[in-house]
Homo-oligomer: A and B are copies of this chain.
């Protein structure tokens, strides 16, 4: 066994890897439904970036003696169910979902990285930081809102639903994994206020679109 032997670190990398694989699939789906060839090309590039993150996480697990499939498997049912229940109704809702989801995910894993070994933390932070989605999404969503003001209300509602469901889902998933639950308990003082911090950052992202959160 290599350096990453803590069950919490393996859980964290496993769920992040499956999340990146899902982001790859959803960006590719958004690329397929893109309104212009230029949007398609940009979304495909972002999907390819997510795949690279996924591959880096799998390689890291393997280097440290862990099977990536086994590390991801405990999280597939919950993540699949979440995404099935929160399927975007159109392309714009897909872009909004990627924007809100990537943002919260990055904030959450950055906090978690403080509680795992240095090498795991470094990889986690690199993977969640390297995303071009935010600038692209803000530009496209603002354009769509200014072209049709009715879009604002629908996207604001969708953003609130996404935030609520993401927090609920993350709590359930974390609670179902003893190693992650133990990590939260060990760091209760620092983790306290986590949901508040995620909510504040989410509000800032909604502000960037001119939407109430």
Contact = CB atoms under 8 A, between A and B. Distances in A.
Contacts of A21: 31, 40-41, 44
Interface residues of A, number: 25
Contacts of A45: 51, 55
B37 A72 contact: yes
Interface in A24-57: 24-25, 28-29, 31-32, 37-38, 40-41, 44-45, 47-48, 51-52, 54-55
Given A28-B28, A28-B29, A31-B25, A51 B44 contact: yes
A166 B58 CA distance: 37
A73 interface: yes
A69 interface: yes
Contacts of A48: 24, 48, 51-52, 55
A122 to B, nearest CB: 23
A76 interface: yes
A104 B24 CA distance: 27
Interface of A: 21, 24-25, 28-29, 31-32, 37-38, 40-41, 44-45, 47-48, 51-52, 54-55, 58, 68-69, 72-73, 76
Given A24-B44, A25-B29, A44-B51, 18 more contacts: A21-B31, A24-B31, A24-B47, A25-B44, A28-B28, A28-B29, A28-B32, A37-B69, A37-B72, A37-B73, A37-B76, A38-B69, A41-B68, A45-B51, A45-B55, A47-B51, A48-B48, A48-B55
28 contacts: A21-B40, A21-B41, A24-B28, A24-B31, A24-B44, A25-B31, A25-B32, A25-B44, A28-B28, A28-B29, A28-B32, A28-B47, A29-B29, A29-B32, A37-B69, A37-B72, A37-B76, A38-B69, A41-B68, A41-B69, A44-B54, A45-B51, A45-B55, A48-B48, A48-B51, A48-B52, A48-B55, A51-B51
